[in-house]
Amino acid sequence: MKDDCCTPKGDYDLAVIGAGSAGFSAAITAVEGGKRVALIGHGTIGGTCVNVGCVPSKTMIRAAEAMHGAKAARRFPGLSGDSQVTDWAALIGAKDDLVASLRQKKYAELLPEYDGVTYVDEGPARLVDGGVEVGGRRIAAPRVIVATGGRPAVPDIPGIADVPTLDSTSLMELERLPESLIFLGGGYIGVELAQMMARMGVRVTIVCRSRLLPRTEPEVSEALTEVLREEGLTILDGVRYEAAREVDDGALLSVTRNGTVRELTADHLVLTTGRAPNTEGLGLAEMGVETDARGTIRVGDDMATTRPGIYAAGDVADRDQFVYMAAYGAKLAARNAVLDGAERYDNAAMPWVVFTDPQVAGVGLTEADARDAGHDVKTSVLDLDNVPRALAARDTRGRIKLVADAQTDRLLGGVIMAPEGADSVQTLAMALKFGMTTKALGETIFPYLTTVEGLKLAAQTFDMDVAKLSCCAG
C-alpha cells in the first residue's frame, strides 16, 4: 500500500474520496487514461460491499440455503433430511475470513498495480477550493469525485434509540444466535436477512409500511409473502410504526395495522428501512454541492454535482444503490471529469436481484412505471408450475411477469421469481437492451428443463395458453 514516500511531486489530476467499489472504479479508470489520482480512504478500504454488504450477507444467505435444502429434501418421495446450527461462532468466523481475504485481494493488493494512484488514509476528508483537505494537509486537484458510500438509516420512531437494535452490519456480527428478531422494513435487505435468520432457527417477524418489495410487481410481492409465511415468518404489512421501548432485556415495538394497535416483542429490532448517505463533514454546502433532504448528493446524468469540477458516484449519489451501478457511475464520472468524456448514465436495461429463496430478479419498467410513462401496456403473468424445470425439481415456488407495449409488442420490463432467477434475468436484460418483442422472445430457442426457459413461456403466454403445449413444443 502506498504512503507519502510514493506521492508524486506536483498536483493530482483527480482526487477521489472513498475507497470502495465506486472509488476504486473511478481511480483505475482515470489512471488507465494516464492521469494521476489521489485515492482518499475516508473509511475502511473496500467500502460497503466487501466489508459489510454483498459479500458477508450472501455467504450467510448461502449457508442458510444449505440448511433449508436439507430440510426441503422431503419434497421428493422417499427422502428426508434435517440440519441445524451447531457452531454459530464458527460460521461468523468463516464469513469474517472471507471478507478479510477479498478485501486484501480485490482492494489493498491492487493498489501497487497502479503507479498513478497514491492512497491516502489519514482520516476523514473535506472538500476545499482547489481540492481536498485530509489529515491536516491539502491535496490539490482540479477535479474531485465523492464516493463515500452510505450506511444503514435509523427510522424516526419514538424510543428507538433506547431499545436493543441491530442493522445489516451488526446483525452479522452477533456472538450468539438470538431467539427472536423483528425486522423493520420489507425492502430487499430486510427480506434477504429475515429469511436467512429464520432458516437459522430464529423466530422472525417482518413489519413494513406498505408491502414486501414495494418497488416491484405486486403479483411477485404477493408470491414472496406467501413463500415466507409458509417458512414460518410472520409478515405484518401496511403498518404504522408508533413507538419502541425496552422490555425484559429485549425490545417492544408498537404498531398500528388495520386500525388496531399491536405490541410485538423480540430480542432485537433489526433496522432495514433504508440507507443514509455518508455526507456529513464533507463541506458540501460550503462548496455549493446540492443535496436532497436526506443528504444524498444530486448529480446529473453525467455524474456532475452542482459545483463545477466536483462529481459523485455510488451510494452517496442519487442513483441506483447497487455495487455494480456504483462502479459503472464512477467510471462515467472519471471519464467525464478528466478524460474529456461526454457519457450519460443509462440504467434502462439494468438488472437487479433480491437474494431471497426463491430469488427475485428484474429489469426495465414495472407495469405501473410503463403506464406512467405513457405506454399502452400489456402484461403476461406465469406461475412456475407451468415451467418444466420447476416441476422436475418439485419446487414451483415462483412467478414470472413480463410487461410490453401493446402497440409495438416491444418488451418494456419483467420480473422473475424463481430458485435460479438471479442467473436467468440477464437474458431478459439483453432482450430489453436490443429492443426485442414478445413474439421474438417467444420464438427464441431455449434449452429445455432450465429456469430461463420460463421467460420464453411467459412471452408465449401473451398469445397462447402454454399449459396446452407438449414438452419442447414451443
Spatial separation of the C-alpha atoms in residues 109 and 103, rounded to whole Å: 9
The answer to the question of whether 189 is labelled as a binding residue is yes
Are the CB atoms for 8 and 114 separated by under 8 Å? Answer: no
The answer to the question of whether 159 is labelled as a binding residue is no
The answer to the question of whether 35 is labelled as a binding residue is no
The answer to the question of whether 191 is labelled as a binding residue is yes
State the Cα angle at 334 between 328 and 338, rounded to 5°: 160
The answer to the question of whether 274 is labelled as a binding residue is yes
Both ends of the chain: CA-CA distance in Å?
A: 57
Q: What is the CA radius of gyration of the chain?
A: 24
Are the CB atoms for 40 and 26 separated by under 8 Å? Answer: no
For residue 280, the tally of other CB atoms under 10 A from its CB is: 10
The answer to the question of whether 144 is labelled as a binding residue is no
The answer to the question of whether 248 is labelled as a binding residue is no
The answer to the question of whether 192 is labelled as a binding residue is yes
And the C-alpha cell for 112?
501497487
Spatial separation of the C-alpha atoms in residues 160 and 182, rounded to whole Å: 13
The answer to the question of whether 185 is labelled as a binding residue is yes
Is cis: bond before 155, omega within 30 of 0?
Answer: no
**Parallel, antiparallel or unpaired: strands 131-134 and 250-257:** unpaired
Contacts of 144 (CB under 8 A, 6+ apart): 14, 15, 16, 17, 127, 131, 132, 309, 310, 311
**Residue found under cell 455526507:** 279
Positions at the binding site: 58, 185-192, 274, 315
Positions at the binding site for FAD: 58, 315
Positions at the binding site for NAD(+): 185-192, 274
